[in-house]
Chains A and B, each alone.
Chain A
Amino acid sequence: MKRNIIILAAIALIFSGCRKQADYHPYIGETSDLAYNSYSSQFEYLWKCISTGYVFWDVDQTDWDYVYDEYMPRFLALDAKHEGGQDVTLNDLDALYRGVFGGMIDHHMKVVIKNLFPAGTDTITKLTVRPGQMEVEKRDYYIEPREEEQSHLLEFLSGMEAVYDIEVHESATAPVEELNNTVTYHYFLIRLADGRKIPYLWQSMAALTPVLRDPSSPAYDLLDHWMRAITETPREQLAGIILDNRANSGGYQDDLDYLIGTFLNEKTEILKTRYKEGPGRFEHSVWTPYYIYPQSKYHRDITAENIPYVIICDINSVSMGEIEPTTIKAVLPTSHTIGERTYGGTGPLQPATSIDLNYGGPFGDISTMSHYIYTSTFESSIGGMVHEGIGLTPDQVVLRKDYNGDFKPQLDAAIEYIEGIR
């Protein structure tokens, strides 16, 4: 019997070594470039970080293992080129990383890579790949990038008073530290032929919250006036509301407290989010409801009063710029969206400093390391659908390209829709 027990123990010891060992998983908060020192090891590091941290593997069709098989030999070839004394140019790297990341569905994604061994002929040493922008530029209604559209739209807005009957026009700019940007706001109180009014707002980014929390902000009065025009104008004088989200590059999630919460009577689920809770590609948390509560400062039941709420959006409405119309449409019955299918970047993000929040989100730091990847921290589902890479198709499609890029037809369509509702 003793011999049998010894044999059994030996068998157990043999089998204790039968389990496979895990491959090295990099920690995406790695702050040292010691993580890699060659083009191939840099690619491998980034490939593993995306394998474990990318939040969209359930909707992204990219075969990430095929990407490894296809591109690792090419990065090894770059190493051989460098070790052979030849320059590896930024163009060499750019071509490869466009292939690696160019098909990803994350429309927030921005990949910034520094050439580890800059070529003497290169005047810049960093490349940037934006897979979302690469896809959007292929759409047949694409005209121009957001920055150019914003400047053209501002020209249009500056000429509004010559084209429409404007009772009030206010404009302001406000620095918003968390967005690392200065935001521009325009408020128009448009007067219809029958005397009724439409409070209209355009902002370059979704930044109501930092302003309305700070009465000393240069844009506080403008936004307060817009909110009060919506909530305090008597029904017979208020024709409807226009929120213009064209070329809006996104910003604060809490803006929904004002854009939706103002019109709610009870706590309402507007979307669901989930995040990566482990390194497996499909290792997600549960879908968690995101609630909006009725606003305490401004309130009006536009549903009961049948007040139309029109949101204009276009191809350059991204992030909160498109989540706003999508969620408004999902929960407010009198809402109506006009314009173009939006950009498709709907995954909420936290800054790269929130590295330990969950397994997803931005990582790296191009000032101290050789990579920075901006990618979504959460996945969102609105109305049961993940809109990432797709965007919102508005209720009423009006394409700028059909009007030589003119902004007026989309606004005219919004006013015409409101005029038809009494």
Chain B
Amino acid sequence: MKTRYLKIIAVALFCWITLGIQAQTASESIGKEVTLLQPDFSAKWSIGIKLGASWTTISQSNWGRIDETYTSLYGGDIGVTARYAFTDWFALRADLSTMTRSYRMDRNLNYLDPVYTNHINRFVMLPIMADFSFGGKQLQGHAYCGGYGSYWWWESRDGRTYWMTDYYVYFENFDEDRKFNSEDQRFIGGVVGGLGVSYTLRSLSKKDIVSLDVLYYYDLVSHHKSYSHLSDPRYLNTLTVTIGWAFSF
């Protein structure tokens, strides 16, 4: 745990130093002295919404496992965005969204291969990212990097299971919410990064911005707790593609 916090602090320092280098470079190019992170123009807020799709895979150990295979499932990502531009090339962005991070398990043992489970997980996500933008005044590209905290809100699972007698195997469909237990780590976090493109609409008041973002969420906190003598961490990896609309002021 301490090591993880130290690494988060190290990243923050990296970003701080990076921004400082950029600020220094910008100040040299315009011949003015600036201190770290103080903007040389009127900062701008933009508030918006985003809506899109997600694809999730699960990373876990295969040690001791039987015959299951895990594949990704589609989900959704819907939420609000807030962006504060310090300069014309650097902003800080925070989102608050509900995201579906789902995956599927299939059994492969010959007479049990009809058995599968779709794990549909809903998370409340709070990514906070540095937004490095480039390009023109209307059409801009963005590179994002940052971290996120999230809350595992609920899980439902549907699929097909089996029950047995001495002679027969029967299959039964199911669809129900899963009750969380003491093995579930509900507050998790990780790093996020990606690319985006935005366009400021000319036809309206120049304050409407539409965007398309591709972000990759990489868990660093396992959603499955370990025991003191047996660790079995599991991590989700989610790619999202969202379209957004924001109002800038």
Contacts and interface: CB of A to CB of B under 8 A. Distances in A.
B161 A8 contact: no
Tell which of B67, B145, B157 has the most Cβ of chain A within 10 Å: B145
B222 interface: yes
Interface stretch (B28-36, B71-79, B202-210, B224-232): B224-232
A63 to B, nearest CB: 11
A142 interface: no
Given A23-B231, A280-B183, A359-B66, A288 B218 contact: no
Given A14-B7, A285-B161, A358-B66, A19 B14 contact: no
A286 B105 CA distance: 14
B105 to A, nearest CB: 8
B122 to A, nearest CB: 18
Interface in A50-73: 51-52, 58, 64-65, 68-69
A254 B163 contact: no
Contact of A288 (B4, B67, B172, B231): B172
Interface stretch (A25-33, A131-139, A187-195, A311-319): A25-33
17 contacts: A4-B143, A11-B14, A14-B7, A14-B11, A15-B218, A22-B63, A26-B64, A47-B229, A65-B228, A253-B166, A254-B167, A280-B183, A281-B183, A288-B163, A356-B109, A359-B66, A378-B164
B82 to A, nearest CB: 22
Interface in A253-303: 253-254, 273, 277, 279-283, 285-286, 288-291
Contact of B143 (A8, A14, A23, A291): A8
Given A12-B218, A279-B64, 9 more contacts: A14-B11, A19-B235, A21-B61, A21-B233, A22-B231, A27-B65, A65-B227, A277-B105, A288-B161
Nearest to A14: B7
Interface of B: 4, 7, 10-11, 14, 18, 21-22, 59-61, 63-67, 105, 109, 112, 117, 132, 134, 143, 145, 157, 161-167, 170, 172, 174, 176, 181-183, 191, 193, 218-220, 222, 224, 226-233, 235
A34 interface: no
B161 A22 contact: no
A359 B232 CA distance: 15
Nearest to B226: A20
A350 interface: yes
Contacts of A285: 117, 161
Nearest to A25: B64
A350 B164 contact: yes
B191 A12 contact: yes
A22 B233 contact: yes
Contacts of B227: 51, 64-65, 281
A12 B171 CA distance: 44
Bin the interface of chain A by size: 35 or more
A11 B163 contact: no
B145 to A, nearest CB: 5
A168 interface: no
Contacts of B134: 1
Nearest to A23: B231
A209 B176 CA distance: 34
A18 interface: yes
Contact of B230 (A16, A23, A277, A282): A23
Given A4-B132, A12-B193, A65-B228, A288 B183 contact: no
A385 interface: no
A24 to B, nearest CB: 6
A281 B230 CA distance: 11
Contacts of A348: 164
A58 B174 CA distance: 21
Contacts of B161: 285-286, 288
A4 B145 CA distance: 10
